[in-house]
A and B are shown apart, each in its own frame.
Chain A
Amino acid sequence: MNHQKIVLLVVCLAFFVSDTALGGPHSPQEPTLPAQNTTPADKSKNGQQGPPPGFDFQKAVRDFMATGEPPDPEAVKRGQAVFAPNCGFCHGSTGRGGSGGPSLVRSVLVLHDAGTSKEIYPVVHNGRISKGMPAFPLSEAEVKDISAYLLSLVQATALRDEYKILNIVTGDAGKGETYFKAHCANCHAPNGDLAHVASKYELVALQTRFLYPKTEWFPGMPPPDPRELSTATVKLASGQSYAGVLNKIDDFGISITDASGAKHSWEFDAEPGITYEINDPLKGHRDLLKQYTDDDMHNILTYLETLK
């Protein structure tokens, strides 16, 4: 199901994951924006300027997903060690069902237990003889650890934004290079702006960014690469002309920041005869998005991955 805001959430996460957690762009190597540039912040949702620096995004997502606090990692480790030899045969080594035993990840009893062992302990201790489950003479502490382990499995299933993406380098680097030379080399060079690009980005971030580099941004996140930002030239009826980074455009007005850092805004209604031209450096990426086959995508990534 998943509603619109979840999408926003995933988008936000994609930033964090691609740009920070996965070892994203080393921004010191890239020019940074003037501090007063508020373009991307204008785009932040919900009428606010984004979370403060140091904001624990992963915790915020977990809280939002309402899966409860994560269990103690040490207890999870101990619980896994008890679970595998005692429970794994019937319930599967990862608790998702095995020889005769049901999945415990979506067991109603386990979900109600929620890491407390209150629900699980009597079942483990007494067994469920009618269903073929014997009693296990495990201590209360051991069952408590199993309970923590099961909670970790439930949370790992429910927290989809923490799923690990598997191997995505499956293409043909040679074909990727050929595609690159034909479609990308006008703007990018493997020994120029893309030198060592594969060591700057984790794979998923690299794939996401070559498909479409993002401009959305809010305080606390690494600033976008200025090369991604649209620029605009605005001409007034008087003949006066302004150029700069595009801050905002909608059906009613346009706003830019010029080279001196000064911000200029116009309302179209109040400025008869106003014209403007926008140069969006990401247009080439958008045009290619419409053309890529999945093979192209895999080949390009595999080629870019050689640019260590």
Chain B
Amino acid sequence: MKLRHLLLFCVCFPVVLAAQGLDPADIQKPKPGTWPTYNGDYSGRRYSGLKQINAGNVRDLKSAWTYVTNAGTPKSIFGSGDVKSTPLMVDGVLFFTEPDNVWAIDARTGHEIWHYQWESKGGIHIGNRGVGIYRDWVFFEAADDHLISLDKNTGKFRWSVQIADVAQQYFSTPAPMVIRNHVIVGVGGDSLDVPGFLEARDPETGKVQWHWNSEPRPGEPGAETWPDEESMTHGGGMTWMPGTYDPELNLLYWGTGNPNPVHAAQGRRGDNLWTCSTVALNPDTGKLVWGFQASPHDTHDWDNVQTPILIDGEIKGAKRKLLAVASRNGYFFVLDRTNGKALVSVPFLDLNWSKGVNEKGQPIPNPAKEPKVDGTLVVPASGGATNWPPPSFNPETGLFYFSATPSYAVYYLTDTGPKPEGYGGRDTQLWGESVLIAMDYQTGKIRWKHVYPGQSQPHLAGILTTAGGLLFTGDPSRNFIAFDPVTGKILWHAKLDDETSNGPMTYELDGKQYVVVGAGATLHAYTLQN
């Protein structure tokens, strides 16, 4: 080898190493200390094995750095400028988003490495859950329904493809999910009764690999749960949150949104499959393997997109492959994730909209509590008994943790015609409070709960649990808190200048564990004080 070549080799080799990026196998089995996908791993547990920060030393947890996004720009009162994404930590870099924006920052220091901004063509900018990474490519969904690929190391634009039509009021919020060479993308939008779908896209070209419709088409199984073709092809069922994946079963689990029109349901009598459901798809073909509908014929905007967490556990002494969801309608479900059969269906609040559960474990909606012209008083409000902020399952405590809100609203029907469009109704929220719930997944019994004091408007918060015997979450009073996950005792807190707005995450670099949370437009990182 000539000296020049040797020099070239030496200069290029580290670059080549860095350029290998994130192998999809390292999402399936994350390298210790990394956080390579929205939920940290495919299970959706948001449980980290890291324990340098633990119950014994958490009092010494201090701010390591903060990063303020789009500093100096005025903030939207609708939360468009909040960090709702969970950062990915790959190769010592954090990747996170707000609508139309992606940042790569140094995970040790919080210094910006690159920032990419997409020129928006429209869409509701309510939030963005983050990126997916495949090798050297970063993927995110813009509010105007484009899937955009960037170079992970430079932030340089590679390509964009349109995945839905913003003129039809689709808008996109999920973090793309990478499984092998599939980039799974979902969509949102329910202003104008559009059908939901899920797609796999090619990471190199953005081309469609498969397309799954939330609603059946005429003649397909499930079509009998809609009155006609028009209702099912305008039926909603948005796929606006990332899903989970079981590599052994090769099943992709995804939650779907509510049916449309949202509140005025007289034009869509029937159960309206597969809205408000957990579905299991083959990630290579997009074919439905099973579905479980959490809210048959929903009329209250209670989508079922809350993280379907995969638990390898026990029910009644038998080892089972399980899937657990705390649903926006106020029910906690545990399913057999091989076949979708419900094993636990229990309300976690005092609800007043259902008449119990049927033989399949599905709540039976009480028609008297559907929206009416003069109003119906319903628990919970349309924001739900819980919502998208990520829950956590801790295998050591066997508890499923989530943020919930007992809340009341009056639901009005405003469109009484035979074929309503849009929402066809609205609700006025009355009162609600925020509660952190620790649920025994085997029984659906609440082991402990913490009611945050002094509030009348709920704030739901994402949750992280760790092997350090800690549960991290936020309260409605702008505190970031560490709880003891066994007892619910508060062990530590930090005052922030905003409520937490994403799911907290953790990673380890150079032997140091960090915990990171977003609150409004700021990302906060904490480490132990040396």
Contacts and interface: CB of A to CB of B under 8 A. Distances in A.
Interface string B493-518: 10101110000000000000000000
B375 A251 contact: no
Contacts of A286: 431
B176 interface: no
B417 A45 contact: no
B416 A166 contact: yes
A211 B377 contact: yes
B122 A3 contact: no
Contacts of B206: none
Nearest to A278: B454
Interface string B175-191: 00000000000001111
Contact of B79 (A46, A163, A167, A251): A46
Contacts of A216: 456-457
A169 B519 CA distance: 43
B419 A212 contact: no
Interface string B439-472: 0000000000000111111001000000000000
B412 A168 contact: yes
A48 B75 contact: yes
B126 interface: yes
B376 A294 contact: yes
A282 B368 CA distance: 28
B490 interface: yes
Most chain A beta carbons < 10 A, residue from B79, B389, B455, B495: B79
Interface in A262-298: 278, 282, 285-286, 289-290, 292, 294, 297-298
B125 A64 contact: yes
Interface string A1-30: 111111111111010001000000000000
A212 B429 CA distance: 9
B419 A103 contact: yes
A134 B201 CA distance: 41
A11 B429 contact: yes
A47 B474 CA distance: 14
A167 B373 contact: yes
Most chain B beta carbons < 10 A, residue from A14, A60, A112, A251: A251
A294 B368 contact: yes
Contact of A11 (B238, B457, B495): B457
Contacts of A250: 452-454, 475-477, 479
Nearest to B425: A163
B374 A157 contact: no
Most chain B beta carbons < 10 A, residue from A48, A158, A159: A158
B454 A248 contact: yes
Contact of A4 (B368, B377, B387, B456): B387
B127 to A, nearest CB: 6
A125 interface: no
Contacts of A7: 381-383, 429
Given A66-B171, A106-B193, A251 B452 contact: yes
Contacts of A65: 124, 191
B122 A66 contact: yes
A122 to B, nearest CB: 18
B478 to A, nearest CB: 8
A233 interface: no
Contact of A297 (B81, B173, B410, B419): B410
A166 B415 CA distance: 9
Interface in B231-271: 234, 236, 238, 240, 257-258, 262
B374 A96 contact: no
B443 to A, nearest CB: 25
Contacts of A71: none
Contacts of B143: 66
A208 B428 contact: yes
A51 interface: yes
B16 interface: no
Nearest to B239: A1
A114 interface: yes
B427 interface: yes
Contacts of A292: 377
A43 B457 CA distance: 9
B192 interface: yes
B499 A45 contact: yes
A211 B410 contact: yes
Contact of A47 (B75, B236, B479): B75
Nearest to A110: B167
Nearest to B303: A1
Interface in B396-434: 408, 410, 412-417, 419, 421-431
B181 to A, nearest CB: 29
A224 to B, nearest CB: 11
B410 A10 contact: no
B140 to A, nearest CB: 17
B165 interface: yes
B77 A48 contact: yes
A235 to B, nearest CB: 17
B374 A298 contact: yes
Interface in B352-409: 368, 372-377, 381-383, 387-389, 408
Nearest to B460: A4
A112 B79 CA distance: 28
B481 interface: yes
B145 to A, nearest CB: 11
B150 interface: no
A64 B76 contact: yes
Contact of A165 (B125, B262, B426): B426
Contacts of A2: 190, 258, 262, 301, 303, 382-383
Given A1-B240, A105-B192, A208-B428, A47 B497 contact: yes
Contacts of B303: 1-2
Contacts of B234: 106
A131 interface: no
Most chain A beta carbons < 10 A, residue from B258, B412, B493: B412
A295 B208 CA distance: 52
B295 to A, nearest CB: 13
Contacts of A246: 454
A154 B498 contact: no
Most chain A beta carbons < 10 A, residue from B127, B236, B425, B456: B456
Most chain A beta carbons < 10 A, residue from B171, B191, B301, B498: B191
Contact of A64 (B124, B377, B430): B124
Nearest to B238: A1
A166 B414 contact: yes
14 contacts: A2-B190, A2-B262, A3-B127, A9-B78, A51-B77, A68-B122, A105-B192, A106-B168, A158-B422, A163-B424, A166-B416, A207-B428, A278-B454, A289-B408
Interface of A: 1-12, 14, 18, 43, 45-48, 50-51, 60, 64-68, 96-97, 103, 105-106, 108, 111-112, 114, 154, 157-161, 163-171, 204, 207-208, 211-212, 214-216, 230, 246, 248-252, 278, 282, 285-286, 289-290, 292, 294, 297-298
Given A46-B520, A251-B452, 10 more contacts: A1-B190, A2-B258, A43-B455, A46-B79, A50-B77, A65-B191, A165-B426, A166-B414, A251-B477, A294-B376
- 9 A-B pairs with the lowest CB-CB distances in the bound complex, closest first: A7-B383, A249-B454, A250-B477, A157-B422, A47-B498, A158-B191, A5-B79, A1-B257, A212-B430
